[in-house]
Amino acid sequence: MAAYILRRLWQMLPTMAGVIVLVFVLFNWVGGDPAYLLAGKMADEAAIANIRAQLGIDQPVWVQLGIFLKQILTFDFGNAWSTGEPVAHIISSRLGPSLTVLVPLTVLETFFGIALALAIAFVRGSLTDRAVMVACTVGMSISILVYISVFQYFFAYKLGLFPVQGWGASLGENLLHYALLPIIIGLAVSIAPTLRLYRSFVLDEVNQDYVRTARAKGLKERRIVWVHVLRNAAIPIITHVMANLPALLIGAFLLERFFGIPGIGREVILAVERSDFPVIKAITVYVAAATMVFNLLADLLYQAVDPRVQLK
């Protein structure tokens, strides 16, 4: 196990190096000259040259790449161009609100997706099964903007059950008051595609030989589905969940924007609108690193769920 983890971590280095080079090239050549963006339209050449010197972009390419590597290794991407706030502080302060919404949403989405998929497996092929699939298709066809507008207007504005916008100072207040409606909306949007996907995972296992053998031995259908089928369907479910976990680090753009949540997603939108490259570069690199770490964690969970999986 330890040897496998060390080998995977070693294999991440060239992948991370490729990500760093790609991000460096995109923002240094494709993104344009940041000195012109910071200086404004009326700036003269002297001001632009001064900004280039301050940012270090007047240096040779290899020096600029070294500066970028140092920023990554020290977790110090300098200050945001638009506000002057340290990028590290922006990420650390905005990550909490995003996780307050997205962690409960991910847990609820996974739990209800698995529970409903197993329940549908009991009535597969029936009218109930078809009706649920039609409802999921309809739900997936509706834009998240419609969900946000309807829920916000009806439940928050008309009924006053939730605040329309805002964010508090304590975790309990935010989780039980301000984040509750965004979580409900996120669950309403995500449960349909999740249920359809998990249902396919479960139905792939239901018709396997080991299930027929279990039935022949007289095991109850409930035990077959909840114990044997679920354990074998867990591997693709883990893959799906782990693939979505890096999204926790970039927040829910529309939910945070419409509900005034000071999270990473809202900050990314503002950074793109302002061409604030230090913020965008930092978040891009961190999400890439998190993706590789979560992929490694998924491989370890595979073996925990199914001992037949060999880590090689």
Secondary-structure class of domain 89-305 per CATH: mainly alpha
- Share of residues in the chain with pLDDT > 70 (%): 91
pTM score, two decimals? Answer: 0.83
Question: CA 151, CA 113: separation in Å to the nearest integer?
Answer: 21
H/E run at residue 34: helix 34-39
Output phi, psi for 79, to 5 deg: -105, 150
Partner residues linked to 79 by β-bridges: 86
With cut-offs at 50, 70 and 90, classify the pLDDT of residue 43.
Answer: low
With cut-offs at 50, 70 and 90, classify the pLDDT of residue 105.
Answer: very high
Determine the residue type at 111.
F
308 neighbors 232 (Cβ within 8 angstroms):
no
Q: What is the dihedral of CA 121, 124, 128, 129, to 10 degrees?
A: 80
Tens digit of each residue's pLDDT (9 = 90 or more) over 115-130: 999 888 878 788 888 9
pLDDT for residue 100: 92
pLDDT for residue 184: 94
Question: Within 13 A of 23's CA, how many CA atoms are on the CB side?
Answer: 23
Question: CA 158, CA 149: separation in Å to the nearest integer?
Answer: 12
Check whether 27 has a pLDDT greater than 80.
no
Mean pLDDT of 164-175: 88
**CB within 8 Å of 114: residues ≥ 6 apart:** 198, 230, 237
Mean pLDDT of 144-159: 90
Q: How far, CA to CA in Å, does 121 sit from each of 152, 153, 198, 202? A: 34, 36, 10, 7
Check whether 42 has a pLDDT greater than 70.
no
Partner residues linked to 86 by β-bridges: 79
Residue extent(s) of CATH 1.10.3720.10 domains in the chain: 89-305
Query: Of 54-63, 138-147, 258-267, 284-293, which range is least confident?
Result: 54-63
Determine the residue type at 277.
F
Mean pLDDT of 65-71: 85
Tens digit of each residue's pLDDT (9 = 90 or more) over 172-202: 889 888 999 999 999 999 999 999 999 988 8
Q: Token match 């504005």: residue?
A: 157
Question: CA 184, CA 64: separation in Å to the nearest integer?
Answer: 45
pLDDT for residue 274: 78
Tens digit of each residue's pLDDT (9 = 90 or more) over 199-239: 988 888 887 888 888 888 888 877 887 778 888 888 889 98
284 neighbors 23 (Cβ within 8 angstroms):
yes
